Amino acid sequence: MTEELLNDESFVITSDDVLGKSVIDEQGDSIGIITQLHIDKTNKNILGISIDPGFLKPQVFVGVRLISLFGIDAVYISKTPQSRYIGLIVFDRTGVIIGKVIGSEYQDKALKTLEVRTGLFRKVSIGKDKIQRIKRNVILNVKKDEI
Binding site for other proteins (CB under 8 A): 24, 26-30, 69-76, 88-89, 91, 93-97, 133-139
In the complex, minimum distance from the CB of residue 33 to other proteins, in angstroms, rounded to a whole number = 14
In the complex, minimum distance from the CB of residue 141 to other proteins, in angstroms, rounded to a whole number = 12
In the complex, minimum distance from the CB of residue 95 to other proteins, in angstroms, rounded to a whole number = 3
- Comparing CB distances to other proteins, the nearer of 51 and 75 is 75
- Comparing CB distances to other proteins, the nearer of 40 and 141 is 141
Q: Are 132 and 90 in contact (CB under 8 A)?
A: no
Q: Cα separations (Å) of 12 from 40, 64, 66?
A: 18, 16, 19
In the complex, minimum distance from the CB of residue 125 to other proteins, in angstroms, rounded to a whole number = 19
Other beta carbons less than 10 A from residue 1's beta carbon: 7
- Comparing CB distances to other proteins, the nearer of 18 and 47 is 18
- Comparing CB distances to other proteins, the nearer of 73 and 129 is 73
Cβ burial 62-100 (10 Å sphere, 16+ → b, else e)? beeebbeeeeeeebbbebebebbbbebebbbeeeeebbb
In the complex, minimum distance from the CB of residue 71 to other proteins, in angstroms, rounded to a whole number = 1
- CA 134 – CA 120 distance, rounded (Å): 24
- Comparing CB distances to other proteins, the nearer of 29 and 40 is 29
Main-chain phi, psi angles of 133, to 5 degrees: -160, 155
